[in-house]
């Protein structure tokens, strides 16, 4: 439903990217209101309770989209509720997942989970190809609404599954935080508790800080890529082609995350995170100069797959060093980074593109790429702090 929803809102808002940005901002504001209280409460009480509450809110949000009658006011209400849903569900899900995976062995599990998510997200656009062929291969409002109805019905299943999580079935001390061994014997001479806490805090600050900056940059462009393919005079792609491109991007993202994890075992997680994100940033610079479509599509897929391939590695590091009792708070901060900042920057991206043709996609893409460059700088400072994961595995086993 995702990329179709962006074009749908763009269409009923009178082909105005700024309105699309404001709808995204509405989601970010409501998510911000609940994400930090949720993080505090799930650490103090239970994760599964908030998953059940979030499930109900999610159903209400989808209901407003389903019965919106192509009116922007109902969509805004739906997206406000979706912000509440994300604010409660994301930190709760990430925390209960981290509590259910053995520390020091996370990157493989997180990479396979990332692949599963990406394959699932690819199935959606590929299914949309068939739906658009059935309903009509054009950006018509009612056709898009019909496609989204199928997406809504599928999403309801995931909300039902959230009712069955149980904190009591997560792991005990085997999923607790560990003291990661530092490269170059960085901490060999600092064995005190204060040193370990300082290192953990620095790792968390650098990782979360990097994610906040990259999330801010991503929000400027992600929602507008379908509009870019549809509206830019060099491309003018129809719905089926856009769905194929999006589907392939998700598939390659999942595969890239597995490959990145394999390389990280030998080269180190931090080194691979920096490498893939830097290459992805270069790809976005290339997209900003509007290459021919046969070059654009591979660059676009490479950009999306490599930028997102770093996520499982980043999360595995963060959840390895954060104690269980603080994971809800940290995951709330992560959700905040990809919630408020992502959606706020989506509003900014709408203004960079402009409210009427000719849309300034080049400015938006170049600004985003520059923000990405700033966002990957903190990763460099992690290099002396994080050793290879196989060292952490020995530490847990020992």
> What pLDDT is stored for residue 63 in this prediction?
92
352 vs 216: CA distance, rounded Å: 14
DSSP-assigned states of every residue in 92-120 = HHHHHHHTTS-TT-HHHHHHHHHHHHHHH
Asked if the structure places residue 363 within a domain, the reply is: yes
pLDDT over 90 at 161, yes or no: yes
Residue 117, Cβ density class (10 Å: 0-12 exposed, 13-18 middle, ≥19 buried): middle
- Over residues 3-19, the mean pLDDT reads 87
pLDDT over 80 at 338, yes or no: no
42 vs 95: CA distance, rounded Å: 9
Enter the tokens of residue 189. Answer: 């001479």
Domain of residue 286, CATH code: 1.20.1250.20
- Over residues 70-76, the mean pLDDT reads 87
DSSP-assigned states of every residue in 229-263 = HHH-TTT---HHHHHHHHHHHHHHHHHHHHHHHHH
> What pLDDT is stored for residue 196 in this prediction?
58
Residue 182 confidence class, pLDDT cut points 50, 70, 90: very low
pLDDT over 90 at 14, yes or no: no
| Domain hosting residue 271, numbered range | 2-164+175-397
> What pLDDT is stored for residue 77 in this prediction?
92
pLDDT over 60 at 188, yes or no: no
> What pLDDT is stored for residue 199 in this prediction?
76
- Nearest residue to 63 (alpha-carbon basis) of 79, 45, 43: 79
CA–CA distance from 222 to each of 137, 271, 319, 347 (Å)?
22, 25, 26, 12
Give the count of domains, the chain.
1
| DSSP-based three-state secondary structure for 384 | coil
328 vs 195: CA distance, rounded Å: 23
Per-chain mean pLDDT for the chain: 84
Asked if the structure places residue 169 within a domain, the reply is: no
Asked if the structure places residue 247 within a domain, the reply is: yes
pLDDT digits (tens, 9 = 90+) for 242-296: 999 999 998 998 889 889 888 888 888 889 999 999 999 999 999 999 999 999 9
Asked if the structure places residue 42 within a domain, the reply is: yes
DSSP state of 311: H
Asked if the structure places residue 91 within a domain, the reply is: yes
> What pLDDT is stored for residue 189 in this prediction?
47
pLDDT digits (tens, 9 = 90+) for 362-392: 999 999 999 999 999 999 888 877 766 544 4
Highest mean pLDDT pick, 28-37, 200-209, 280-289: 280-289
Highest mean pLDDT pick, 49-58, 202-211, 344-353: 49-58
Asked if the structure places residue 33 within a domain, the reply is: yes
Asked if the structure places residue 170 within a domain, the reply is: no
pLDDT digits (tens, 9 = 90+) for 87-130: 899 888 888 888 888 877 777 787 788 788 888 888 889 999 99
Enter the tokens of residue 272. Answer: 């691979």
Phi, psi of 268 (to 5 degrees): 110, 140
Q: Give the list of residues 6+ apart from residue 81 with CB closer than 8 angstroms, or none.
A: 30, 57, 58, 60, 61, 64
> What pLDDT is stored for residue 392 in this prediction?
43
DSSP-assigned states of every residue in 15-33 = S-HHHHHHHHHHHHHHHHH
């Amino acid at each position: 439903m995702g990329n179709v929803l962006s074009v749908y809102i763009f269409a009923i808002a009178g082909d105005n990217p700024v309105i699309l940005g404001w709808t995204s901002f509405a989601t970010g504001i409501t998510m911000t209101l609940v994400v930090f209280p949720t993080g505090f409460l799930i650490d103090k009480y239970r994760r599964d309770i908030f998953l059940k509450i979030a499930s109900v809110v999610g159903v209400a949000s989808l209901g407003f989209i389903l019965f919106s009658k192509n009116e922007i006011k109902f969509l805004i209400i739906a997206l406000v509720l979706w912000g509440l849903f994300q604010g409660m569900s994301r930190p709760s899900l990430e925390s209960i997942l981290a509590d259910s995976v053995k520390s020091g062995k996370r990157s493989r599990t997180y990479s396979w989970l990332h692949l599963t998510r990406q394959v699932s997200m690819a199935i959606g656009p590929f299914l949309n190809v068939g739906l658009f062929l059935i309903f009509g291969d054009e950006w018509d409002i009612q056709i898009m609404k019909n496609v989204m109805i199928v997406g809504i019905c599928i999403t309801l299943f995931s909300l039902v599954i959230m009712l069955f999580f149980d904190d009591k079935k997560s792991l005990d001390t085997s999923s607790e935080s560990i003291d990661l061994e530092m490269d170059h014997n960085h901490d060999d001479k600092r064995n005190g508790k204060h040193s370990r806490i300082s290192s953990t805090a620095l790792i968390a600050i650098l990782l979360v800080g990097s994610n906040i900056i990259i999330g801010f940059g991503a929000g400027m462009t992600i929602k507008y890529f379908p509009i870019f393919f549809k509206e830019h005079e060099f491309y003018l792609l129809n719905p089926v082609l856009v769905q194929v491109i999006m589907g392939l991007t998700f598939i390659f993202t999942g595969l890239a995350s597995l490959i990145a994890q394999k390389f990280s075992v030998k080269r180190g997680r931090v080194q691979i995170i920096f490498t893939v994100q830097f290459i992805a940033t270069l790809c976005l610079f290339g997209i900003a100069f509007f290459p021919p479509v046969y070059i654009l599509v591979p660059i676009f897929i490479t950009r999306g797959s490599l930028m997102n391939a770093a996520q499982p590695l980043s999360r595995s590091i963060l959840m390895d060093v954060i104690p269980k009792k603080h994971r809800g708070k940290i995951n709330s901060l992560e959700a905040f980074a990809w919630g408020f900042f992502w959606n706020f920057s989506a509003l900014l991206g709408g203004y960079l593109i402009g409210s009427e043709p000719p849309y300034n996609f080049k400015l938006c893409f170049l600004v985003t790429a520059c923000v990405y460059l700033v966002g990957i700088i903190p990763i460099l400072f992690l290099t002396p702090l994080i050793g290879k994961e196989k060292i952490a595995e020995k530490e847990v086993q020992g």
